[in-house]
Structure 1
C-alpha cells in the first residue's frame, strides 16, 4: 500500500517496499511538476501534479494509489482515439467518463473500459471538481476495478484500439452463437474503440476476443496515407505481381502504418505486393509481365496508395 508524505520541497509518494524511490506510485514511474507544496486552505491532503504512462503503471493500480493517498482532483488519459477522466474527492472515486467522438460512457462501465487500456499517457491535476457524480465511491470502486482487471487479463485484443475491424479476405466456416453473429454483423469497418464504447463493455470485449481468435474478424491499422503519383519504370527480369517503390518512400509508409501492407494502383484498380528499391524516387518499378498485363508503359503516371 503506498504511503504519502509531504516535505518542504513538495509531495512525493513511496511504497512500503524498502528501496522504492520517491517518484514511484506503487512501482510505476511518475513525474512530478512544479512546486507541490500545500495550497492555502489545505486540509492536510497532499497536493501535486502527476504524469506517466499506463504501460508502466496500470490503470487500476494508479487509481488505487490515488485513493489510498486521499487525493482530490482529475485523472486524465488521452490517446489518439479516446479521452478518459476520473475524478476523486478525498480519495473517493465519484465520477468516470470516456469519450470518443460523439460516443460517451460514464460511471462503472467507463471504469471497466479504462481498465482495459494498456498504454496511454496520463496526468493527474489536483483540486479539480467533477461536473457531476456518477459513482458513490467506497469499497465498490476497488472491487469493480479488480473484477474488470481480471476479465481483461483473460482477453487478447490489439493494444491499439484505433485498429479497424474487418472480415478476413479469405473467409472460412466458423460456428458462432446468436449474440456473436449480431456483433459481427455490426462491427465491420469500425474501430475497436467504437465497438467497446457502449453499454456492456466487458461483454463486447469478450465477443471481439472470440471473433478475432476464431478468425471471423481481423483488426488492422487505419491507413491515413495520402496517395502518391509515380511514373512507371520497367524492371527487366522474370516474375510478376510485385511493385517496387523508392526505399525512402517505402520507409515513410512503413513508419506511418506499422503493419504489413500492399500497394493499390489507380488506374488500373489492382493490388500488388510492394518492395523497396534504391534510387528510384518518383518511380514505380513494374516487371515486364505486369506491364503487359496492365497495359502500362514507361513514363505512364499511376496513382498508388498503400493498404493493409
Structure 2
C-alpha cells in the first residue's frame, strides 16, 4: 500500500501519479480533524469526500492541507455513484490553481483543530456573505468544522477566515485544557512596551502546549485588558513583568494580581 504525507508529496502530484498509472482505488487522507477520500477509477477521478463536503468542494478542501498522512488502498470498493465529472487534465490544472490560492492564506494555521473566537476589536471591515457564514460558525467549532460546514465553498470560506484573522476580528483560540494563571505584577521602566515577561518555566510549559509562539492576554481587577508579546525571564515564579506604562494602561500597579492567559498568534506572526 502506498503511504506518505502531503508535506512531502502534494495532493495534485499524488493524484497525477496515480492517474498516470491508471490506478483504481481510494486515496485516504487522514489528518486528526477530518477524514478525506479521493477515489479513482482506471486513473480517472471518480469521487471525492471530506467530512460533509463531496465532489469538487471536497477536493478543494483537501487541497488546503499542507501536511496530512495519506494511504492509497487499491482494494477499497468504489462508491455507488460518482460525484466528480471533470476530465482529469482540466481538474488537475484547476486543483493547482486552488493550491496556489491556499498558499496565500498566511493567517490560517496548519493545525485546523484549533478554534477561533471573536475579539473585542472594533473594525470597519465590510463583511461579505462568506465572512458572515464564518462568524456564524465560530462558537464551538474548529477551523476544520468551519471550512467543512460553511455554506460558501471551502476556498471562499478560507479566504474569508484568513481576512477576519488578519484584521483581528477573529483570533485563534488556545487548545482546551489550558487554564488562566493569576500572576503578581512586577514593573520595569524604559521604551520597551507591549511585552510581558513570564517565568521561564511557565513560558516553556505554554510553548510546549501550543507548539508555536504566543501572546498573553492580561486582565486587571478593574476590568482593563490588553495583549502582550510573551517572553521568558528566569526566576520570576508566579509573577509577570510589564513596563510601568503598560501597567498604568491596565489601571494596575506593581504587586497587583493579574489574570493571564495565552493566546495564539496568526500563522504569519
One fold, TM greater than 0.5? yes
CA contact (8 A) 1:227 1:303 kept: no
CA contact (8 A) 1:166 1:218 kept: yes
Name which one, 1 or 2, has greater alpha-carbon Rg.
Answer: 1
Larger RCO, structures 1/2 (Cα 8 Å, 6+ apart): 2
Does residue 253 in structure 1 map to residue 206 in structure 2?
yes
Question: What is the distance in 2 between the residues matched to 1:242 and 1:136?
Answer: 52
How big is the alpha-carbon RMSD for the aligned residues of Structure 1 and Structure 2?
Answer: 3.9
Equivalent residue in structure 2 for 1:208, among 138, 155, 160 = 160
User: What's the CA shift string for 1:157-176, capped at 9, x where partnerless?
Assistant: 22524454455654332345
CA contact (8 A) 1:79 1:121 kept: yes
- The alpha carbon displacement at 1:250 in A equals 0.4
User: What's the CA shift string for 1:246-267, capped at 9, x where partnerless?
Assistant: 2122022123331431144586
Does residue 262 in structure 1 map to residue 210 in structure 2?
no
Q: Which runs of structure 2 are paired with 1:144-155 in the superposition (5 Å)?
A: 144-155=91-102
Partner of 1:25: none
Per the alignment, in what secondary structure is the counterpart of residue 193 of structure 1?
A: helix
Per the alignment, in what secondary structure is the counterpart of residue 7 of structure 2?
A: coil
Per the alignment, in what secondary structure is the counterpart of residue 70 of structure 2?
A: strand
Is the alpha carbon distance of 1:235 and 1:111 closer, same or farther for their aligned partners in structure 2, counting shifts above 3 Å? closer
- The alpha carbon displacement at 1:124 in A equals 1.8
- The alpha carbon displacement at 1:206 in A equals 6.7
TM-score, with structure 2 as normaliser: 0.70
Does residue 307 in structure 1 map to residue 257 in structure 2?
no
Question: What is the distance in 2 between the residues matched to 1:209 and 1:229?
Answer: 29
Is the alpha carbon distance of 1:134 and 1:271 closer, same or farther for their aligned partners in structure 2, counting shifts above 3 Å? farther
Per the alignment, in what secondary structure is the counterpart of residue 118 of structure 1?
A: coil
Question: What is the distance in 2 between the residues matched to 1:265 and 1:213?
Answer: 22
Does residue 116 in structure 1 map to residue 64 in structure 2?
yes
- The alpha carbon displacement at 1:81 in A equals 2.2
Per the alignment, in what secondary structure is the counterpart of residue 23 of structure 2?
A: coil
Does residue 79 in structure 1 map to residue 13 in structure 2?
no
Equivalent residue in structure 1 for 2:133, among 156, 174, 183 = 183
Q: Please say which of residues 166-175 and 141-150 is displaced more in the overlay.
A: 166-175
5+ long unaligned stretches in structure 2: 265-269
Number of equivalent positions? 250
Q: Which runs of structure 2 are paired with 1:1-308 in the superposition (5 Å)?
A: 49-99=1-51, 104-135=52-83, 140-155=87-102, 156-157=104-105, 158-160=108-110, 161-167=112-118, 169-175=120-126, 179-180=129-130, 182-183=132-133, 185-189=135-139, 190-198=141-149, 200-202=152-154, 204-205=156-157, 207-208=159-160, 211-212=163-164, 215=167, 217-218=169-170, 220-227=172-179, 229=181, 232=184, 235=186, 237-238=188-189, 243-257=196-210, 258-264=212-218, 271=225, 273=228, 274-281=230-237, 283-286=238-241, 290=247, 294=252, 297=255, 304-308=260-264
- The alpha carbon displacement at 1:63 in A equals 1.2
- The alpha carbon displacement at 1:98 in A equals 0.9
Per the alignment, in what secondary structure is the counterpart of residue 174 of structure 1?
A: coil
